[in-house]
A and B are shown apart, each in its own frame.
Chain A
Amino acid sequence: MSDTERHTISVLVDNEAGVLARVIGLFSGRGYNIESLTVAEVDAANALSRITVVTTGTPMIIEQIKAQLDRLVPVHKVVDLTNDGPYVERELALVKVKASGNRRVESLRIADIFRARAIDSTGESFVFEISGSTEKLDAFIGLMEPLGLVDVSRTGVAAIARGMEGL
């Protein structure tokens, strides 16, 4: 669809059994897209977790997604970071490349440009750690492909609003 938008949404939830299944079930049951979804406890004292979900849809669907999330009982707060002013989002990837000779040198050179760190190496391979925007990670992985990309593990997006206000 032409008027599809990409939105990053933060959801503050009770860290209780089944809460992630509720959120994922909502997306699959109603046919919404999930581009990435991350979750971890962010406030142990109050047993609160933060889910960051990147989704796409028409403006009407995006509004639905937020309203549907908000009415889940263990959900405390839903914030559409994309709508609510500037925010930063980061993703982390571990990228394994098997290469020797020139290609090995080239992979290191590109890693350097992207500020990726080699966190494991053998005579014939590296594991790079890289963080940044989704696009940056896509670009890095794309460049590694012809050099001997073996494996990728990505965390999905974590995001937070700029400025001093909390969620």
Chain B
Amino acid sequence: MASREMTGSEIVLKALVDQGVDTVFGYPGGAVLPIYDAIFAQNELRHVLVRQEGGAVHMAEGYARSTGKVGVVLVTSGPGATNAVTGLTDALMDSVPVVCLTGQVPTHLIGNDAFQEADTTGITRPCTKHNYLVKEMEQLPRVMHEAFHVARSGRPGPVVVDLPKDILMGKGAYSGPENFVHRSYQPGTKADAGAIAEAVELMANAKRPLFYVGGGVINSGPEASKRLTRLVRLTGYPATVTLMGLGAFPASDPQCLGMLGMHGMYEANLAMHGCDVMINVGARFDDRVTGRLADFSPGSKKIHIDIDPSSVNKNVPVDVPLIGDAGEVLGQLLRAWKAREPRPDNAALETWWRRIEAWRSRDCLKFAASETSIKPQQAIKRLYERTRDRDVYITTEVGQHQMWAAQYFKFEEPNRWMTSGGLGTMGYGLPAAIGVQVAHPESLVIDIAGEASFLMNIQELSTAVQYQLPVKAFVINNQWMGMVRQWQELLHGGRYSESYTAALPDFVKLAEACQWTGLRATHPDELDDAIDAMIATDGPVIADIVVEKEENCFPMIPSGAAHNEMLLGPDEKAEAPVSEEGMVLV
């Protein structure tokens, strides 16, 4: 019910608290000074002062993806808001629930090119799930609560609330979340019963089935992963996991074929190519996964669970769409599967598993270790082996190291793996790790970084120090923008145009200058010690792992190729040169 008069800023903070927010990642400026004044006067909300607004959004993403809660950002108008755009786009592509509060010039100045005015709602319209400009005091409580409802329900995503300074300074009545029901946005969560029956029928009669598991399972919450694991084990069918889905199904389970896609596992991609029934749970047929669309899993009937109807039949025609929340729909499928008491075609399934085992025996992640230099694969493999029994969270930057991390680090649980998948944002990993560490102060949080990406949000080193966050940066330092170099080698005749970073900082000295601990390993013999020392150090650490410079990431499906045209290693040549069509793909 309406209560006493409060300032707009107080209403904003009260709404955050009532929405269960405990932490805000932000940076002050003229337009949001009233909110900062209100923050000064309270102690329910913790404010984490970032070093650049772009970092704030990635921190909120890391916080959100490791907790399942909405991440919250507070930035000023104009440059504060425009700096947040990359993070917002990242959160949109990867379906991360974020509410970003932006300051705005007072309503009477909007449109006048006032100091630090930007058309924030205009700029962020295509990179948010929804956005609001609050022009009237009475709207403020409703908009604040709606923003959280929109960010977290259905397919989650970023929401911007643009707050003119006169609204923040004005007075109005507050009203709690219980008083608002959104009048149009109420996405359904349960799939159609008829479609469930159809899906179970297809699954029961499958001869070469495959689960294709995506980030939607993780977004749905930990219960969805449990149900998925139950269903996969009940059926005995194999499962492959996308980059965003890592951890949704335990990597150590014998039924897990690992990641699929461009740098996915040989057995996963060939199983995708050869399956006759595909059960897509919360994945979106991304082009990194499908390869050449015309030859993507050509012989399969496709079941697709997705909460977003626009993901269904977007790239790949689907036979049985199940529109709803992954966890709910998996519950429906489990019940229907048990009720049907299916008698699977064991002979066919055995043959299918035998084929999969044959692909598996190719051991596509094997690599030749070196006695003189650290192989990046080795570095990540050892990092995994020496941290696997710990309470560990991993973030990454973007590039080869990211793909190696996805291949060699094994995840048994959801919410442990944070990477920029859809947008591929270099500079994501360090701030994301800080956000994760804020939410899990006692856990081991490691950013598996490339040296080029790491520099993109390097200013956040000092944020970690200010809040005593012991994040670890495990820098796979190959001195190259390795992934760019790899594409130039494979697609551009080895013309390495601008992909070498000639004047890298000394990361150990950089660490020290920023009050981090700096470590370095350059020889394979030093690797384990460096990893152990990194873990044992109380505060934040940069471990500069100087690796083999020109290692390429395999397996790889060359652009424009199909799953069965995978390259397993450096000695394999593609069957055909990359087509012109393939060359134009990103």
Contact = CB atoms under 8 A, between A and B. Distances in A.
Interface of A: 14, 17-18, 21-22, 25, 29, 60, 63-64, 67-68, 70-76
B185 A73 contact: yes
A22 B122 CA distance: 9
B299 interface: no
B317 A74 contact: no
B130 interface: yes
B126 interface: yes
B346 interface: no
B205 interface: no
Given A18-B133, A64-B313, A74-B184, 18 more contacts: A18-B125, A18-B131, A21-B125, A29-B126, A60-B313, A60-B317, A63-B313, A64-B310, A64-B314, A67-B308, A67-B310, A67-B312, A71-B155, A71-B310, A73-B130, A73-B150, A73-B185, A76-B183
A63 B321 CA distance: 13
A60 B126 CA distance: 22
Interface in B281-329: 308-310, 312-314, 317
Contacts of A63: 313
Contact of B122 (A21, A70, A72, A75): A21
A74 B121 CA distance: 15
Contacts of B121: 18
A73 B125 contact: no
B152 interface: no
Contacts of B309: 67, 70-71
A75 B121 CA distance: 18
Contacts of A67: 308-310, 312
B227 interface: no
Contacts of A29: 126
In this complex, the member of B131, B314, B317 whose beta carbon has the largest number of chain A beta carbons within 10 angstroms is B314
Interface in B113-137: 121-122, 125-126, 129-131, 133, 135
A73 B146 CA distance: 10
B157 to A, nearest CB: 10
Contact of B129 (A25, A60, A70, A73): A73
Interface of B: 121-122, 125-126, 129-131, 133, 135, 150, 154-155, 183-185, 308-310, 312-314, 317
A164 to B, nearest CB: 24
Contacts of A76: 183-184
Given A25-B126, A60-B317, A17 B184 contact: no
Contact of A75 (B125, B133, B184, B308): B184
Contacts of B317: 60
Residue among A14, A18, A75 with most chain B CB within 10 A:
A18
Nearest to B317: A60
Contacts of A17: 133, 135
A18 B184 CA distance: 16
Given A14-B184, A60-B317, A73-B130, A68 B125 contact: no
Nearest to B185: A73
Nearest to B184: A76
B31 to A, nearest CB: 19
A16 B313 CA distance: 30
Contacts of B122: 21
The 6 closest A-B pairs by CB, nearest first: A67-B310, A73-B130, A67-B309, A76-B184, A73-B185, A68-B310
13 contacts: A14-B184, A17-B133, A18-B131, A29-B126, A60-B313, A63-B313, A64-B314, A67-B312, A71-B154, A71-B155, A71-B309, A73-B184, A76-B183
Contacts of B131: 18
Nearest to A63: B313
A63 B129 CA distance: 20
A61 to B, nearest CB: 10
B132 to A, nearest CB: 9
Nearest to A74: B184
A22 B125 contact: yes
Nearest to A17: B133
Contacts of B133: 17-18
Contacts of A70: 309-310
A75 B129 CA distance: 13
A21 B133 CA distance: 14
A31 to B, nearest CB: 13
A40 to B, nearest CB: 19
Contacts of A75: 184
A163 to B, nearest CB: 25
A64 B130 CA distance: 19
Contacts of A21: 122, 125
Nearest to B129: A73
A68 B184 CA distance: 15
A34 to B, nearest CB: 16
Nearest to B135: A17
A71 B184 CA distance: 10
Given A25-B125, A25-B126, A76-B184, A71 B308 contact: yes
A72 B155 CA distance: 12
Nearest to A26: B126
A60 B313 CA distance: 7
A76 B186 CA distance: 10
Nearest to A46: B183
B89 to A, nearest CB: 12
A29 B185 CA distance: 22
A30 to B, nearest CB: 10
From B121, B126, B150, name the one whose CB has the most chain A CB atoms within 10 angstroms: B126
A72 B321 CA distance: 20
Nearest to B315: A60
B1 to A, nearest CB: 24
A22 B121 CA distance: 10
A29 B443 CA distance: 41
A144 B155 CA distance: 52
Nearest to A21: B125
Contacts of B155: 71
Nearest to B146: A73
Nearest to A75: B184
